[in-house]
Amino acid sequence: MDRIALKTGLWLMVADGEKALFLKNEGDTAYPNFQVVREIEQDNPPTREQGTDRPGRLSDGPSAHRSAVADTDWHKVGKVRFADEIAERLYEMAHRGDFKEIVLIAPPLVLGELRKKVHQEVSNRIVGEIPKTLTNHAVFDIEKLLLAA
């Protein structure tokens, strides 16, 4: 991970497949002070709680043999849809001029989906990416982790 300058006014988006925090550094490089600007959440239960049907079956041709079809991973689908929502929110905030620079912090799957979906106006403002899950950390702990990196 490259060193990211935590300067005053820098925004951070800390997300996973179910929660996103938008933080703004009100402090400086030596003593960051992240303030929560916005928080969004999505209810995304495990696939076993979302699927209602048995796996499908597929005929293998003229014989009586049939093969099972893999279940849809509804939890993963939910994460991808949430990445769409995050990308849309980032675009709205960038278009309004809420931030000039932003760092994206998310697990690799979510970060990859975000890369595909963010608008050019947002991608021009991304100054760093960190492939980690930090949404369950307190804001103070996120500050300490980024300072130590």
Is pLDDT of 145 > 60?
A: yes
pLDDT digits (tens, 9 = 90+) for 7-58: 999 999 999 888 999 999 999 888 999 999 999 887 655 555 555 556 665 5
- Residue pair 132/15 in contact (Cβ under 8 Å)? The answer is no
User: What are the structural domains of the chain?
Assistant: 11-44+72-148 (3.30.420.60)
CA distance readout (Å), 53 to 1, 32, 47, 50, 57: 43, 49, 11, 10, 12
Q: Summarize pLDDT for 53-94 with one digit per residue, the tens.
A: 566 655 666 766 666 656 666 556 666 788 889 999 999 999
How far is residue 5's CA from residue 84's CA, in Å, rounded to a whole number? Answer: 28
